[in-house]
Amino acid sequence: MATSSKSSQTAKNVVLFLLALWSVISLIIIVVWATSPDLKSASKCRSELQEMTVQLEGAKVVYNKNKVALEELVEAARAVQARQKAEILMLLGHFNATNATLEECRQENVVLSWNISALQENVEQLRQTETNLTAQIRLQEDHIEALQQNVTEAGHQNESCFSLKAAAESQMLAAQSQTRGCESRQQYLHKQLQKCKEVEAEAPEQTEQTGQQGDGSSSASPLSGIPALMLLVCSALHLVT
């Protein structure tokens, strides 16, 4: 932008210089023609002077127009330069903001690098922890497998115990049944023993009556030996119970 403003200023100066040089040359030519009587007549010189004056006035008009145009161009160039300066200032502001943002990003990158290093260390620690946990898990799996084997053996032992318990219960039921049979037998024998005791109590009286009748008659009844047999049976039952 500074180069374009300088070039426009230089162009303006060159044009002004050329116009001024052309005006000076025109005046010199007019003076030369006016001061040369040998070459031209006075009337011709006057006519030429008039023409030159007209040309000079035209040149002045053109010079003024060119000057105004150049001044307008200079003003426009100045406006463009001012606008470009404002744009440059705005771009400088953006550039400074971008630099600040880049500095922040650089600092953030440094912090992120530190964080990445810390995360890598954490990842390495986690990998080591994972290795240790994997070994512990394998040990736990072996322990669980051993426990499962123990549980299986315990289950088989429980099944065996249940079988033994069922057999014991069956034997207990059989023993109970036998006990009830023995109790029933004992009750029966007890009743028979009571009967025998009653017979023993009645036997002496019958024996005395039988002795008295034996003395009076020689032909005794065949049932006279039954009380003695009953005594023997009752004695045997008493021994059993």
The CA distances from residue 187 to 113, 179, 194, 235, 238, in Å, are 103, 12, 10, 17, 13
List C-alpha distances in Å: 233 to 139, 202, 210: 80, 15, 20
Q: Report the mean per-residue pLDDT for the chain.
A: 77
The model's confidence at residue 124, banded by pLDDT at 50, 70 and 90, is: very high
φ and ψ of 157, to 5 deg:
-65, -40
CA–CA dist 91, 84 (Å, integer)? 10
Give percent of the chain with pLDDT exceeding 70: 75
CA-wise closest residue to 44 among 54, 58, 34, 57: 34
Position 107 scores a pLDDT of: 92
Residue with tokens 């003076």: 31
- Please count the other Cβ atoms lying within 10 Å of the Cβ belonging to residue 26: 15
pLDDT of residue 217: 45
In this prediction, residue 34 carries a pLDDT of 62
Average pLDDT value for residue range 23-36: 72
Average pLDDT of 122-144?
A: 91
Confidence of residue 114 (pLDDT cuts 50, 70, 90): very high
The string of DSSP letters for 78-94 reads HHHHHHHHHHHHHHHHH
Q: What is the pLDDT of residue 221?
A: 44
Candidate ranges 26-35, 40-49, 124-133, 231-240; pick with highest mean pLDDT: 124-133
pLDDT for the residue numbered 236: 58
36: left (phi over 0), alpha (psi -120 to 50) or beta: beta
Say which residue, 30 or 88, is predicted with more confidence.
Answer: 88
Exposed, middle or buried by CB within 10 Å (0-12, 13-18, 19+), for 44?
Answer: exposed
Going by the DSSP 8-state scheme, the letter that residue 224 receives in this structure is: G
Tokens for 198, please give them. Answer: 């009653």
For 138-155, how does the pLDDT look when each residue is reduced to its tens digit (9 = 90+)? 998 888 888 888 888 888
Residue percentage of the chain with pLDDT more than 90: 20
Mean pLDDT of 125-141: 91
Q: What is the rounded CA–CA span in Å between residue 140 and residue 133?
A: 10
Best CA proximity match to 234, nearest among 194, 202, 185: 194
Q: For residue 219, what pLDDT is reported? A: 42
Amino acid 185: pLDDT: 83
51 pLDDT above the threshold of 70: yes
Would you place residue 45 in the very low, low, confident or very high pLDDT band (cuts 50, 70, 90)?
low
- Nearest Cα neighbor of 33 from 10, 55, 65 is 55
Q: What's the chain's length in residues?
A: 241
- Give the pLDDT band of residue 218 (cuts 50, 70, 90): very low
Residue 55 makes CB contacts below 8 A (sequence gap 6+) with 26
Token pair 């249940």 is at which residue?
A: 162
Residue 61 has pLDDT above 60, yes or no: yes
Largest CA distance in the chain: 241
Note the pLDDT tens digit of each residue in 162-190: 888 888 888 888 888 888 888 888 888 88
Report domain extents, the chain.
Answer: 2-126
Q: Which residues of 222-232 are buried (b: 16+ CB within 10 A; e: fewer)?
A: eeeeebeebee
